[in-house]
Structure 1
Amino acid sequence: MTPPSYSSASHWYREGRQACYVRTMKSPGGILDLLEIEGQSGDVSRPGVPDIVLYQDVHGGCRIRGDIGGGLFDVTTKKGGLALAAPDFATTTIADTRHRVRCLALPMAHWQSVLDDAADGRFSFEKSGIYGRIFGSSAIGSALRNLWALCDDEGAPSRLLAQAAGCEILAELSRLGGAPFRPASGGLAPWAERRCLELMRARLSDDISLDELAAEVQLSTFHFARMFKRTVGVPPRAYLTRLRLEKASDLLERTDLPVTEIAFEVGYSSNQVLARVFLKNRRISPSDYRRIVRDPLRADALQ
């Protein structure tokens, strides 16, 4: 009997024999997938999937044996330790104890062109020696923490957030593998900066992607992200959050629209998401902000 094939890592973890161990799954669709798995001891092998899959041990202290694309290994993991599984490789992995891992799956169909462009087609994970070993990276650890924290605030990551995080993590994996991405040469031209910011304002309620912004100014996704940050001072996702908060604040001040409707107007899926973002960035809830700006006496009392 031919075993079933799986179109992605998330497909396997949704429907394969380890599906019951998946505790969290977040995905913007086709860009990256975030999963958290509470695994049992024993065989945790999986079939080959067309994704680069980055694993991070949440607690550490688990002995893992097998092969995830770089030859046989036998290690005891450390808290926050990382491992990279090769695409289209059927892993063979045995865990000696219960464990908790976070997975970041990057579909090669989406990311191969970014890798080719950023490294002039020179980089190959297969030749880098980074597959199948446990390693540490403060840059990747920080990127993953930020990605999960933002998902906790906003739900499934936006396409802009997912693509920016993927670029950042792949850049560091490439550096660790011995083929650093080419640095961005300068920032955006004034016309390109102006056009991008206009587009972001015009499509504030949309799930706009890094690809769309880059295409608007005829740049590759990877180099656009770096040039935008160099010019504007913050990544595109952070700037979009700033624009959304500015628009939400304006609507709270000038209109009687319900907070839920304002959330939809600025691109958030619910009033709860807007409230979390508002509290994180403004240290106040949207409703309290509206009351204060409309009641100067109360505002003075709180100062």
Structure 2
Amino acid sequence: MTVHARSSFAQWHSNGRHASYLRTMKSPGGIIDLLEVQRPAGDMSRPALPDIVLMEDILGCSRVRGDLGGGRFDVTTGKGTLALAAPNFATTVINDERHRLRSLAFPLSQWQDELDEAADGRFSLDTSGIYGRVFDSSAIRSALRSLWALCEEEGPPSRLLARAAGCEILAELCRLGGVPFAPARGGLAPWAERRCLELMRARLSEDISLDELAAEAQLSPFHFARMFKRSVGVPPRVYLTRLRVEKACELLEQTGLSVTEIALEVGYSSNQVLARVFLKHMRLSPSGYRRAVRDSVRSIALQ
């Protein structure tokens, strides 16, 4: 097959006759691309593209047939059914009725080294047994739901979220394909944990990546993510959110900065994004939190 080197799954869906089917696209700088498409019945085949593509059927379809890189199939799909398309393979897909898909595309250039290391060199794009199979995985569906919900709350996923979510989902795909990822090695060394936490605090306002944190600990992103969770108790993204909310609380209490200025200071793109995150974690809006703190201070002063 000829690889369309200048294209990607996201780019292909954004141009040409299929662009009208695209409903949503969230892309964090090419680490992963999230798309939702709604398409009519008929031939939805596409050229070879350099992405591994995971698809979730949102509605279910009475009959789907074609080839996603693992041989011919002819199946009925249900709501939540998953399928995986191989990279660099011109897929053929014919649907008997309209359908809606959420797709997660992994550009191969971003993930090949990760796959090789995590699977100790045993992963092969040519021999993976999961391509073209219709399968079920509650772990992957849950990860996709969480990723999509976070995108709705915070906008396009950060580089940290994109890499961490990709590692989690690819680990499960490799396990289902018969090549489980190498086991975790334990937690971070104390010096590595300290340096990574310091870096996260120092760069709250930036879109820090998992790759940068892993480099600080002298580990691969895949191993770093799992070792960080063992040491700290939560994934890097969750810990970063906690740091941002804590800093936002401090700024609301101690400064006269506007909510918009505080949002930018702690790494969120707008006051609306900060408000959604803050409400989720503090059960108050930022303005409501500031009022409550100041009312409490006045009450103490009057006693």
Report the equivalent of 1:132.
132
Tell me which amino acid in the other structure corresponds to 1:41.
A
Deviation at 1:125, TM superposition (A): 3.6
Report the equivalent of 1:195.
195
Tell me which amino acid in the other structure corresponds to 2:112.
Q
Report the equivalent of 2:162.
162
Tell me which amino acid in the other structure corresponds to 2:173.
L
CA root-mean-square deviation: 1.7
Structure 1 3/169 Cα, relative in aligned 2: closer, same or farther at 3 Å?
Answer: closer
Q: TM-score, normalised by structure 1?
A: 0.96
Q: Any unmatched runs of 5+ in structure 1?
A: none
Check the 8 A contact 1:62/1:98 in 2, yes or no: no
Question: For 1:10-68, what per-residue CA distance to the aligned partner results, in whole angstroms no more than 9, with x for missing partners?
Answer: 01000132110000000111200000001111111111110000010011134111111
In the alignment, is residue 40 of structure 1 matched against residue 16 of structure 2?
A: no
* Structure-2 separation of matches of 1:149 and 1:191: 34
Deviation at 1:297, TM superposition (A): 7.8
Report the equivalent of 1:274.
274
In the alignment, is residue 119 of structure 1 matched against residue 119 of structure 2?
A: yes
Check the 8 A contact 1:264/1:270 in 2, yes or no: yes
Task: Name the count of aligned residue pairs.
Answer: 299
Tell me which amino acid in the other structure corresponds to 1:121.
G
Matches within 5 A, 1:227-242: 227-242=227-242
* Structure-2 separation of matches of 1:4 and 1:31: 18
Report the equivalent of 1:70.
70
Check the 8 A contact 1:26/1:35 in 2, yes or no: yes
Deviation at 1:128, TM superposition (A): 2.3
Aligned residue for 1:295, secondary structure, equals helix
Tell me which amino acid in the other structure corresponds to 1:146.
S
In the alignment, is residue 141 of structure 1 matched against residue 135 of structure 2?
A: no
In the alignment, is residue 208 of structure 1 matched against residue 203 of structure 2?
A: no
Check the 8 A contact 2:264/2:270 in 1, yes or no: yes
Aligned residue for 2:240, secondary structure, equals helix
Report the equivalent of 2:11.
11
Tell me which amino acid in the other structure corresponds to 1:200.
M
Deviation at 1:6, TM superposition (A): 5.1
In the alignment, is residue 100 of structure 1 matched against residue 100 of structure 2?
A: yes
Question: For 1:216-256, what per-residue CA distance to the aligned partner results, in whole angstroms no more than 9, with x for missing partners?
Answer: 11101100000000000000000000000000000000001
Q: TM-score, normalised by structure 2?
A: 0.96
Moved more, 222-231 or 16-25: 16-25
Q: Any unmatched runs of 5+ in structure 2?
A: none
* Structure-1 separation of matches of 2:54 and 2:151: 18
* Structure-2 separation of matches of 1:199 and 1:22: 38
* Structure-2 separation of matches of 1:153 and 1:123: 34
Check the 8 A contact 1:62/1:99 in 2, yes or no: no
